[in-house]
Amino acid sequence: MAVVGIIANPSAGKDIRRLVAHGRVVSNQEKSNILRRVFAGVASTGTKKIIIMPDHSGLSALAAEDVSDSLEVEYLDMKIADSQESSTFAAKLMYEENVDCIVTLGGDGTNRVVAKGCKNIPLIPISTGTNNVFPAPTEGTLAGIVAGSIADNTLSIKESCNQSKKIDIFCNDEFIDDALVDVAISKEMFVGARAVWDISTLHSIILTRAEPVSIGLSSIGSRIENINIDDPFGLYVILDKNVKSEKKLVKAPIAPGTIPNIRIIDYKKITIEDKIFIETHPGTIALDGEREIELLPDNIYYAILNLNGPWVANVPKSMKILSKL
């Protein structure tokens, strides 16, 4: 049976960047409305089942009522989602349930943790977070149509999706975590409030993508090199303010409404052959905008570009294909 999975993060778009920048707040009511449109889109296709990650805000409740006559709606048998780990666990369960496509609501951070569990299931990420490089501002109705069309095999993954990249982080030659868009090496000692908003605390960034229309740390890279989702390389940028010489001075929107001058000390393109050693001690590593890893002494940390990231549906391209069928 063709099945679409739904993972909506009720906490996305509500972190500290609402206070220190001008990040938008996407209310749970708006997320619920987006899901109603997604469900309507799925119901218009040959897909007849949706599996949902349960959350404490009940974001999917009204959407499920709307389609009760046309879709079978099932909630995952798991604890109510209350953390990042919940989204990863939900994605793993959806893989085990043979879900064909997953629609996510959130930002780069939400999709990072979903990608850790979904394996080869294609994603349709709808942006409702702060840094939205990986997810696009997609209309929910169209996302639902494309998700249902991938699930019922009207669209193939090869023709409708792009395979994204990621950055793998290793400690003492053991894989510990990854990021979909950016890895930031921070001189901050502790994870704290997680979100990265003060550029002066950063030593360097490693990027899979650097597109001029993006907001967040990847926008810094776009002032140097335009790197797209399917380019087989990434970018390493050194920002350390303690170094007197600079290679370039740029302005970039590192957060909504925040466009500082940024000194670029050095930069280079990276490929899958490169190991980027992380030697900032003490410090932390931020993954897709949120500090996650504390750098401990006597450990060797490095990052490697990986071209085998999650599959992501190209909604405009998919809709063009469907219009001709």
Q: What is the pLDDT of residue 200?
A: 85
Statement to judge: residues 26 and 89 lie in one domain: yes
* Strand ranges (E), 196-306: 202-207, 234-238, 248-251, 261-264, 266-270, 276-278, 283-287, 290-295, 301-306
Lowest mean pLDDT among 35-49, 119-133, 305-319: 119-133
Residues linked to residue 238 through DSSP beta bridges, in sequence order: 204, 266
- Whether 86 and 79 have beta carbons less than 8 Å apart is answered as yes
Q: What is the pLDDT of residue 19?
A: 46
- Is pLDDT above 80 for 138? yes
- Whether 76 and 54 have beta carbons less than 8 Å apart is answered as yes
68-82, 113-127, 241-255 — most confident range: 113-127
Higher pLDDT, 209 or 130: 209
Nearest to 21 by CA among 204, 217, 189: 217
Q: What percent of the chain lies above the pLDDT cut of 90?
A: 70
Q: How many CB atoms lie under 10 A from the CB of residue 252?
A: 24
Q: What is the pLDDT of residue 20?
A: 47
Q: What is the pLDDT of residue 131?
A: 60
Q: Looking at the 3D structure of the chain, how many domains does it have?
A: 2
- Whether 178 and 306 have beta carbons less than 8 Å apart is answered as yes
Integer Cα distance of 68 and 24 in angstroms? 32
Query: What is the residue whose two structure tokens read 């909630």?
Result: 75
Integer Cα distance of 321 and 325 in angstroms? 7
Provide Rg for the chain, Cα atoms: 20
Structure tokens at 237: 């940028």
Give tens-digit pLDDT for 142-160. 999 999 999 999 999 999 9
Give tens-digit pLDDT for 85-96. 899 999 999 999
Question: Rounded to whole angstroms, what are the CA distances from 22 to 13, 25, 67, 100, 254?
Answer: 11, 9, 36, 36, 11
Q: What is the pLDDT of residue 137?
A: 85
Integer Cα distance of 167 and 171 in angstroms? 13
Nearest to 104 by CA among 131, 84, 124: 124
Statement to judge: residues 27 and 146 lie in one domain: yes
Integer Cα distance of 106 and 72 in angstroms? 24
Integer Cα distance of 157 and 291 in angstroms? 33
- Is pLDDT above 50 for 18? no
CATH number for 132: 3.40.50
pLDDT band at 287 (very low <50, low <70, confident <90, very high): very high
Statement to judge: residues 193 and 98 lie in one domain: no
- Is pLDDT above 80 for 82? no
Domain of 72?
3-164+310-323
- Is pLDDT above 90 for 41? yes
Q: What is the pLDDT of residue 190?
A: 67
Number of continuous H segments (helices) and E segments (strands) in the chain: 9, 19
87-96, 120-129, 207-216, 282-291 — most confident range: 87-96
- Is pLDDT above 90 for 220? yes
Statement to judge: residues 261 and 154 lie in one domain: no
Higher pLDDT, 290 or 43: 43
- Whether 283 and 203 have beta carbons less than 8 Å apart is answered as yes
Residues linked to residue 74 through DSSP beta bridges, in sequence order: 51
Statement to judge: residues 134 and 25 lie in one domain: yes
- Is pLDDT above 60 for 210? yes
Statement to judge: residues 206 and 142 lie in one domain: no
Q: What is the pLDDT of residue 194?
A: 59
Residues linked to residue 102 through DSSP beta bridges, in sequence order: 5, 123
Integer Cα distance of 168 and 186 in angstroms? 17
The CB-side HSE value for 6 (13 A sphere, CA atoms) comes to 31
Q: What percent of the chain lies above the pLDDT cut of 70?
A: 91
Integer Cα distance of 182 and 219 in angstroms? 10
Higher pLDDT, 289 or 123: 123
Statement to judge: residues 121 and 227 lie in one domain: no
- Is pLDDT above 60 for 192? no
The rounded mean pLDDT for the chain is: 90
Give tens-digit pLDDT for 157-180. 999 999 999 999 999 999 999 999
Helix (H) or strand (E) holding 72: strand 72-75
Higher pLDDT, 14 or 45: 45
Q: What SS3 state is found at 307?
A: coil
Statement to judge: residues 14 and 150 lie in one domain: yes
CATH number for 219: 2.60.200.30
Query: What is the residue whose two structure tokens read 């009720």?
Result: 10
Give tens-digit pLDDT for 241-280. 666 677 889 999 987 788 989 999 999 999 999 999 998 8
Statement to judge: residues 201 and 250 lie in one domain: yes
Statement to judge: residues 149 and 21 lie in one domain: yes
Overall pTM surpassing 0.85 (yes/no): yes
Mean pLDDT of 93-105: 97
Nearest to 5 by CA among 96, 103, 81: 103
Statement to judge: residues 242 and 198 lie in one domain: yes
Q: What SS3 state is found at 115?
A: helix
Statement to judge: residues 150 and 261 lie in one domain: no
